[in-house]
Amino acid sequence: MGDPMIVEQVCDGSKAAGLPEGGLLPDCGGLIRRIAFSVPPVFLEARPSEWYRPLVPIGNLLQALVADIEVFVLVEPDACASAEAWIGSLPLACPLRIIPVEGPARARQSPWTQDLFHVRAPATAADEQGKILARPGARIGPTLAAALGWQVADPGVDLDGGNQLVGPDFRLIGRSAIAGEAFPPGDGGAGAALLSLDPRPVHLFAYRASDLGGAAMPVPDPRSLKGVYQCGFHVDQYVTVTGLRHAGQPLLIVAEAQMADAGTSPMVEQIGRQLDASARRLADQGFAVRRNPVPFCVTPDSGKRLPRLYNNLVLENAVRPGGERPLVFLPQFADVEPLDAYDAANRALWEELGFAVVPVHGFSQLASRNGALRCISKIVQRQSFQFDTEV
């Protein structure tokens, strides 16, 4: 992995590969044991309509979780009764705890739990306690930490969880998270904090403007980020970490933009070129890349043509007792939109990779807000770390 858009950051003299303990909790690996959700009062109190039922996909995901996954739902104190009524209406297999959010409300509670804090894995395999990394003044992360009995620390940098994917021995961060015009960032300030979050080498999800013609063009100064951009605003919109390897390389799934209906769209064509260029850059960085079809179609509530985020998912790489394959919880859209072929194609891709697909319906309700399954959730604990199955 020697592409210009990469830096290895070594902490405490040891490389990250094979040493996930004490680093950030990966987006792949062992069985999910704890998962958290932030549900704002506006979701609980909203009058539902055909295209505004935000609790539907969240409730469907809760119902899809297996019995040994512990769930935490964080809500404002005055919304606890509404949350209890909603949760009570769901046939759940998993244990669930509603937690009132602590501290004075300074702004509307966000449903995008993935963005609100980071999770550091336990320091050793025998240790049960992880750590919540949250910026000063944050409420959701510290409230969850108090409920778990975990410590809270300041990560020292503003980095949305959605703009970072954590693999077994790498991190993938969106270009928009890098301040300045050089990579790696400078030695001090936010750049140093970004690199010190975790010992894994950092890679960029990015493309150069010069790449849009169909080839990755060499540049005089590979450290320069001038003319380097990110497709979308979060890397988890269009990229999935699998925990698998192909021909010895970490396998990523990268979206391929497609029109879901007849006609043309210059915007979709441009995003398609950006994703193609980004995929080539990831391959140059030493990743194996497989593409999945992502349709762009108009959302009736916003009138905007937006992607359906099939890459925005959560998965396990270990097989549960009594199971035959690891699980992937995959957002689905065909329950209310004519996207059956796309739902099926994305299920087939993950089945071919050796996963048992758990389809979670209802995510058209969040399409106009550019969110899906990973956005609304935050895995807090995994049982073990199992990576790098070759496919």
> How far apart (Å, rounded) are the C-alpha atoms in residues 231 and 271?
7
> How far apart (Å, rounded) are the C-alpha atoms in residues 278 and 275?
5
pLDDT in tens, 268-318: 999 999 999 999 999 999 999 999 999 999 987 888 899 999 999 999 999
pTM of the model as a whole: 0.91
- Whether the pLDDT of residue 103 is over 50: the answer is yes
pLDDT in tens, 150-176: 999 999 889 999 999 999 999 999 999
Return the higher-pLDDT residue of 389 and 335.
335
Q: What is the mean pLDDT of residues 204-208?
A: 93
Question: Which class is 6-390 in CATH?
Answer: alpha beta
Return the structure tokens found at 123: 């320091």
Q: What is the pLDDT of residue 257?
A: 96
Residue 367 DSSP class: G
Helix (H, G, I), strand (E, B) or coil at 274: helix
Element (H, E) at 192: helix 189-196
From residue 387, give the alpha-carbon distance in Å to each of 107, 197, 266, 317: 39, 21, 39, 7
Q: What is the pLDDT of residue 267?
A: 93
pLDDT in tens, 31-53: 999 999 999 999 998 676 666 78
pLDDT in tens, 219-275: 667 678 888 999 999 999 999 999 999 999 999 999 999 998 887 889 999 999 999
Return the higher-pLDDT residue of 384 and 313.
313
Q: What is the pLDDT of residue 264?
A: 85
Share of the chain above pLDDT 90, in %: 69
Nearest to 168 by CA among 314, 386, 351: 386
